Amino acid sequence: MQQPSNIILGIDPGSTIMGYALIKVSNGQPQVLLMDVLKLASYQDIYERLEKIHTKVCELIRLYRPTTFAIEAPFFGKNVQSMLKLGRAQGVAIAAAMQAGILVTEYSPKKVKQSITGNGNADKDQVWKMLQRTLNIAEQPQYFDATDALAVALCHYYQQSSPLAAATSKGFKGWDDFIAKNEARVKK
C-alpha cells in the first residue's frame, strides 16, 4: 500500500538572507523539490524585509502545499540587535505558516547538525556533504543558507519518522513511558 506524500518546508531564517527548502517524502524516501535563498540585503528598511519574508513563505505554501513547517531556532549571539532582527524574521515566517494552518516545529542548530551528520558541532561544509550523499544532489548551491534550510527539513523528516516520534504520536511521553506501558515487550 502506498503512503501519501508528505511535503516539508524548511526555513533557515535571516534578515539579510533567508534559506528555504522543500522536500517531498514518498514511501519513506525524501527527495528535494526546491532549495534556494531569498536575498534581502538590498532592502534598507527592516520592515520591508519582513514583508518580503512573509510574502515568500506564503508563496511557497501556496505553490507547494507543505504538510509541515520546520524552522531553525536562532542561536544566542553576542550582538543583541542581530538577535532581535533574526527573531523578527523567524516570527514572520512562523506566522505565515500558522496562518495557513500548518504545524510548526523549531529545531536548534545543534539538533539539526546532529540529526544530519551525527555531530552537533559539524561545520556547514560537513552538513552539506552529508546532504549531498543522502539526497543525491550533484551541484552545491551558492549559499549555505539554502543547504541549512534543507538540513532543517531533513532533520524534521528524521524526527517525524523515528520510533520515538511514532510512540509519542500514540500517546507515549517518551521511552520511559513506553516501557512502563509495555513491560511484556521488554526482554530482560
> d(Cα 149, Cα 90) in Å, to the nearest integer?
13
CB burial string 145-177: b at 16+ within 10 A, e below: bbbbbbbbbbbbbebbeeeeeebeeeebeeeee
DSSP 120-168: TT--HHHHHHHHHHHHT--S--S-HHHHHHHHHHHHHHHHHHSHHHHHH
User: Catalytic annotation on 145?
Assistant: yes
- Confirm whether residue 145 is marked as ligand binding: yes
User: Catalytic annotation on 45?
Assistant: no
Q: Grid coordinates standing for 62? A: 501556496
Helices (H) and strands (E) in the chain, counts: 7, 5
The catalytic residue among 51, 59, 72, 177 is: 72
Structural Rg of the chain based on CA atoms: 18
The catalytic residue among 123, 145, 148, 177 is: 145
- Confirm whether residue 12 is marked as ligand binding: yes
> Whose grid coordinates read 523515528?
162
User: Catalytic annotation on 12?
Assistant: yes
| Numbered residues of the known binding site | 12, 72, 145
Active site residue ranges: 12, 72, 145
| Numbered residues of the known binding site for Mg(2+) | 12, 72, 145
